[in-house]
Amino acid sequence: MYQPQPFVTRLAFKCSDRPEAQEARERLAARYGDVGPENAQVIVALGGDGFMLESLHEAIASQTPIYGMNRGSVGFLMNEYSEDGLLERINAAERAVIHPLAMVAIDARRTQHRALAINEVSLLRQTRQTAKLRISIDGKVRMGELVCDGALLATPAGSTAYNLSAHGPIIPIDGRVLALTPISAFRPRRWRGALLPQSARVTFEILEADKRPVSAVADNFEVRDAMEVHISEDRGTSLAMLFDAGRSLEERVLAEQFSA
């Protein structure tokens, strides 16, 4: 999972719109230089977890590694902020390679929408009516009807985000599984979800879609009035995050399982 990082000297800095992130970018760029994303060996992202996800999506084409420093709030995916010894920290960093989920959502007009999700693909009811979903795995119906507020399929990297808030399991970052988690399941009320192999192809069919409309959301990309949603892991796309030595993503995910 973790590989040595080639010696890095060329950095590109990007920041969120928070004032503290913008101020940090100016100081760091003046101190270490800023070569721009197209020439960078590593992109330094300054912000919170939401900004890290945004930066990862922008890096899909180039697959440039991203080293985040927390200038936001939660910062689970970020390193601690420090302006000293940045090149040394990056060159000693541990690399976590993740693969996003590929979503194909078909809406009520039979239009196909494609998107990648680094954390999760969520299905969410659009109105006061509960959603009714049929769930198939690799072409076989596994749940004929799930009555719920929604459901989600999470990657290991995303298992500590929305998935955890919905009482889904935390998955080790090198776990070869995906978490299928219901959101406020009404029937079957006691169903808590499933762990699926990373090769699984998951299909959600929205039942009574006219009466019970559902949105499909891949990270921050939303498709309204979804009718069918097909999800699988995109093994052809690899995204790299860099973490300070001893503070790897694997260690953070493990520690999260023992937090109060």
Residue list for the binding site for NAD(+): 49-50, 119-120, 149, 157, 160-165
**Residue 12 · residue 37 · CB < 8 Å:** yes
Site of tokens 């520690």: 255
96 beta partners: 241
Amino acid at the residue 60: I
Structure token digits, residue 4: 């040595």
Q: How far does CA 108 lie from the centroid of its chain? A: 26
Q: Could you tell me which residues are annotated as the binding site?
A: 49-50, 119-120, 149, 157, 160-165
State yes or no: is 49 an active-site residue: yes
Catalytically annotated residue among 49, 107, 219, 225: 49
Site of tokens 């993740």: 98
254 Ramachandran zone, left/alpha/beta (phi>0; psi -120 to 50): alpha
- Alpha helices, H only, the chain: 19-32, 49-58, 86-91, 162-165, 249-256
Which active-site residues does the annotation give?
Answer: 49
